[in-house]
């Protein structure tokens, strides 16, 4: 395996319309640079909502995404980048839609907390159904999980459908460890540690076997 650098191609789109989002600023940040005070490099999405960003080998940091049309967002690479890669489209939400996800899921979004949105994949890289997400450590009573059912977010179920999509709302700021398990027998599928900021949406994925 070479040490890179590698090119990551990313696509951003509106979560409701599915339309490309041009003009989104992307800053590459190291994992321990929690405020992205020293971005490594920067890019901007084109008319097709696409951009490329060069990263070093085994990079496991994040991309900070900002635009007037979206809630400020963080995208964490998982697994770390070890080759040129094209990521599936990332559906970004406006602040109003982010609050709507919370309401549709049965709760209220707190401005001093954040949201984590996740997908889980199986060993073949396909979206995994019947997955439950949980937060490690002391539980904030305002935090709750939601999952996508018939393309709508809800907290009335405890597991993902065949999209493998779900998340956690009202996560306290800081670094949170999220674990994905099989809902049927609580077998651990994977774990990830993610940065959460107030008013931000953090995106990532949990491939089977990730630690």
pLDDT digits (tens, 9 = 90+) for 156-182: 999 999 999 999 999 999 999 999 999
Q: Say if CB 57 and CB 84 are below 8 A apart.
A: no
pLDDT 10s digits, 17-39: 889 999 999 999 999 999 999 99
Q: What is the pLDDT of residue 168?
A: 95
Q: Which of 178, 169, 199 is nearest to 102 (CA)?
A: 169
Residues of the chain with CATH 2.60.40.10: 6-92
Q: Which DSSP letter does residue 17 get?
A: T
Model confidence over 136-156: pLDDT tens digits? 988 899 999 999 888 888 889
Q: What is the DSSP letter of 66?
A: E
Give the pLDDT confidence score for residue 2 in this predicted structure.
63
How much is the pLDDT for 107?
Answer: 85
* CA proximity to 179, closest of 211, 139, 143, 141: 211
Burial class (CB in 10 A: 0-12, 13-18, 19+), 22: middle
- What class does CATH assign to 6-92? mainly beta
> For position 211, what pLDDT does the model report?
62
Q: Rounded CA gap, 142 and 136, in Å?
A: 15
- Residue 34: what pLDDT? 94
Categorise residue 49: left if φ over 0, alpha if ψ from -120 to 50, beta otherwise: left
Domain with CATH 2.60.40.1120 in the chain: 95-207
Does pTM surpass 0.85? yes
Query: In 10 A of CB 39, how many CB atoms?
Result: 16
Mean pLDDT taken over the chain: 92
Task: Answer whether residue 1 shows pLDDT above 60.
Answer: no
Distance CA 131, CA 110 (A): 25
pLDDT score at 65: 98
Task: Give the domain 95-207 fold.
Answer: Immunoglobulin-like (2.60.40)
- Whole-angstrom distance between the N-terminal and C-terminal Cα of the chain? 20
Task: Check: CB of residue 4 under 8 Å from CB of residue 56.
Answer: yes
């Amino acid at each position: 395996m070479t040490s890179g650098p590698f090119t990551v191609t990313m696509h951003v789109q509106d979560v409701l319309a599915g339309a490309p989002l041009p003009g989104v600023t992307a800053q590459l940040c190291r994992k321990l640079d929690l405020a992205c005070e020293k971005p490594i490099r920067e890019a901007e999405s084109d008319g097709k909502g696409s951009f490329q960003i060069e990263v070093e080998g085994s990079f496991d940091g994040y991309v900070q995404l900002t635009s007037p049309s979206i809630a400020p967002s963080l995208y964490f690479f998982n697994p770390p980048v070890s080759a040129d890669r094209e990521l599936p489209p990332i559906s970004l939400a406006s602040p109003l839609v982010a609050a709507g996800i919370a309401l549709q899921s049965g709760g209220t979004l707190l401005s001093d907390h954040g949201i984590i949105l996740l997908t889980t994949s199986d060993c073949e890289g396909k979206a995994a159904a019947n997955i439950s997400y949980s937060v490690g450590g002391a539980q904030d009573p305002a935090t709750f999980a939601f999952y996508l059912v018939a393309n709508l977010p809800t907290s009335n179920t405890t597991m993902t459908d065949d999209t493998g999509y779900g998340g956690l709302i009202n996560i306290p700021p800081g670094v949170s460890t999220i674990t994905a398990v099989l809902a049927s027998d609580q077998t651990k599928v994977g774990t990830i540690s993610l940065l959460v900021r107030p008013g931000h949406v953090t995106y990532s994925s949990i491939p089977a076997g990730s630690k």
